[in-house]
C-alpha cells in the first residue's frame, strides 16, 4: 500500500539525515507529512490521510448477536452498512473518555468498510518530516506495537503513526464471530 511505502521512505530519509548531520545547508526547505490525529488509551496517534475516509460522531447502531465484545454493531451510514468496532475493547482495554467525546474513524480500503471508535479525533496534524523517528514510542501498550510505524516528536510529545491498513489486514480483526 502507498502509505507503507511512504513511511518506509521516511525511515530511509531519517537514516540519511543522521549520516549527514553537520554538513552545510544552503536554503533549507521544510517538508511536511500530514495525517489524521486521534487519541487512544491516553496516547496521541496519527493515521495516514489516505487511510481515513471520514470522521463521525458515534452513530446509532444495532447490536449483532454472537460477535466479539469489541464489535459494537452495525450502522446505516448513507445507505451503507458500517460495522462499528471499539478500538480500546479490541485491545482488551477500556476507554476512560466520555462517550459523547469519542469519535468514529471510518476506513474504506481493500474491500473493508469499517468504523473504528477512538477516544478523540484531533484533526489534521502536520509534522516536519525531519521530526520522524523510525522507532515508535516505548511506553505504549505492547498490543498496539504491531500496528505502529514510527512516530513524530512535537512539542515534547510523541505522535505514533498508527497503520490502519495493518489493523484491517490482521486476521484477528477480520474474525468478529465470538465462536
pLDDT reported for residue 4: 73
Contact (CB, 8 A) for 101 and 141: no
User: Residue 70, SS3?
Assistant: coil
Contact (CB, 8 A) for 14 and 134: yes
pLDDT reported for residue 14: 80
Q: Which residues pair with 115 in a beta bridge?
A: 84, 106
User: Residue 62: pLDDT above 70?
Assistant: yes
pLDDT tens per residue across span 9-35 = 778 778 777 766 655 566 678 899 999
Q: How many residues does the chain have?
A: 179
Q: Which residues pair with 177 in a beta bridge?
A: 67
pLDDT tens per residue across span 37-57 = 999 999 999 999 999 999 999
Q: What percent of the chain has pLDDT over 90?
A: 74
96's grid cell: 476512560
Q: Taking the model in full, what pTM does it have?
A: 0.81
List the domains of the chain with CATH numbers. 2-12+33-174 (2.40.50.180)
Amino acid at each position: 500500500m502507498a502509505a507503507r511505502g511512504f513511511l518506509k521512505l521516511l525511515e530511509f530519509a531519517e537514516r540519511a539525515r543522521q549520516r549527514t548531520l553537520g554538513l552545510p545547508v544552503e536554503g533549507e526547505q521544510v517538508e511536511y507529512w500530514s495525517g489524521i490525529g486521534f487519541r487512544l488509551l491516553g496516547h496521541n496517534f496519527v493515521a495516514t490521510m489516505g487511510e481515513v475516509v471520514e470522521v463521525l460522531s458515534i452513530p446509532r447502531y444495532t447490536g449483532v448477536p454472537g460477535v466479539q465484545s469489541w464489535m459494537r454493531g452495525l450502522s446505516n451510514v448513507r445507505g451503507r452498512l458500517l460495522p462499528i468496532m471499539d478500538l480500546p475493547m479490541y485491545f482488551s482495554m477500556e476507554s476512560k473518555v466520555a462517550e459523547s467525546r469519542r469519535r468514529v474513524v471510518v476506513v474504506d480500503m481493500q474491500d473493508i468498510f469499517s468504523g473504528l471508535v477512538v477516544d478523540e479525533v484531533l484533526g489534521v496534524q502536520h509534522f516536519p518530516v525531519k521530526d520522524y523517528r523510525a522507532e515508535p514510542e516505548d511506553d505504549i501498550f505492547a498490543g498496539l506495537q504491531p500496528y505502529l510505524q514510527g512516530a513524530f516528536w512535537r512539542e515534547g510529545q510523541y505522535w505514533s503513526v498508527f497503520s490502519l491498513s495493518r489493523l484491517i489486514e490482521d486476521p484477528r480483526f477480520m474474525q468478529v464471530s465470538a465462536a
